[in-house]
Structure 1
Amino acid sequence: MENALDHYDKAIIYALQEDASISNLELSKAIGLSPSACLARTKSLREQGVIQQFTMFVDEKKLGMETIAFAMVNLSPLTRETANSFVEKINHIPNVLECYTITGERDYLLKIVAQDMVVYRDFVIDTLMAIPGVNRVETSMVMQTEKRTLSIPLGN
């Protein structure tokens, strides 16, 4: 797909990764296209699935989420059925911000937010461990976020 993107498409993606709230008029001026051409390209990038969502970063702590954790989860048995069921349930839990199927000794990596350690502990016991097939959860707590971005490097 990258080969199909010209410098205007990449400029649109770069600008929207920096500020998704930019208006089409501002975007068109920034990249040197007419507003209608810019809008058509942005729409095409969305239709192709290159741009999936316009989003924002929120400061978790300012919303009362003092605890950020990465939980590595093992399923047993690890079958297509237990994996599908696990992912289905995880997709409906708001505290789970991200879920990845991973290689190695663990099956999934989750990014989880909670108000504090007590709430996180209760979440693991009452919610995560209650999902059928979950047999182990290993947690790493975030002490401080050093880098956070959703921007994908576009190269040249």
Structure 2
Amino acid sequence: MSVTFDELDKQLIDLLQSDSSISNKDLAEKVGLSPSACLSRTKRLKEIGAIKKFAAIVDEKMLGYEVTAFTFITLSPHNRDISNAFLSKIKDTPQILECYNISGSWDYLIKIISHDLADCRDFLIDTLLSFPGVNKIETSMVLSTDKQSFCLPFETSGP
């Protein structure tokens, strides 16, 4: 689906990515709209799916998750039933924050959080390896996070 965004839409998206808790009044002032017109545009951007949701970004370390890991996964056999069963388990597992179906030597890449190394090891062995079709895994531990952004680049020509 191709959607065209005007400059006001681009400004709204850019500002909301930077601070989704901004009040509608402040947002309207920044883009030069009335609060009601601003709210209508923001609702439209949500309705068409340009804005998926508003969320708080939480510091995982403050909640006791000291380990972040990325795990490459190969499934076997390769068929839709195995893939669907695997993805169903992925979606029901809160320690898995992200899952990507990828090209190359591996089938999936997932991002996992754990309280510590032992928790991560136990998750990999006791949980992940029990998922339907999981044949092979390779895990890399994150040593440091040097950049993490949730803002997509969106060219604006506004103020």
Whether these two folds match at TM > 0.5 is: yes
Distance 1:105 1:53, change over 3 A: same
Alignment match, 2:89 = 89
- What are structure 1's unaligned runs of at least 5 residues? none
Please report the TM-score for the alignment, with normalisation by the length of structure 1. Answer: 0.97
Counterpart of 1:34, as a letter, is S
Deviations 1:84-117 (A, max 9, x none): 1111110010000000000000000000000000
Alignment match, 2:142 = 142
Measured in 2, the distance between the counterparts of 1:44 and 1:25 equals 17
Alignment match, 2:15 = 15
Alignment match, 1:72 = 72
Whether contact under 8 Å (2:97, 2:110) holds in the other structure is yes
Alignment match, 1:24 = 24
SS of the residue corresponding to residue 140 of structure 2 reads: strand
Mean CA deviation greater in 105-114 or 3-12: 3-12
Superposition deviation, residue 78 in structure 1: 1.4
SS of the residue corresponding to residue 88 of structure 2 reads: helix
Alignment match, 2:154 = 154
Alignment match, 2:121 = 121
Q: How many residues align?
A: 156
Measured in 2, the distance between the counterparts of 1:3 and 1:154 equals 14
Alignment match, 2:34 = 34
Superposition deviation, residue 3 in structure 1: 5.9
Percent of pairs with identical residues: 50
Superposition deviation, residue 57 in structure 1: 1.6
Q: Which runs of 4+ in 1 moved over 6 A?
A: none
Measured in 1, the distance between the counterparts of 2:57 and 2:90 equals 21
Whether contact under 8 Å (2:75, 2:83) holds in the other structure is yes
Alignment match, 1:105 = 105
Structure of greater relative contact order (alpha carbons < 8 Å, 6+ residues apart): 2
Distance 1:48 1:125, change over 3 A: same
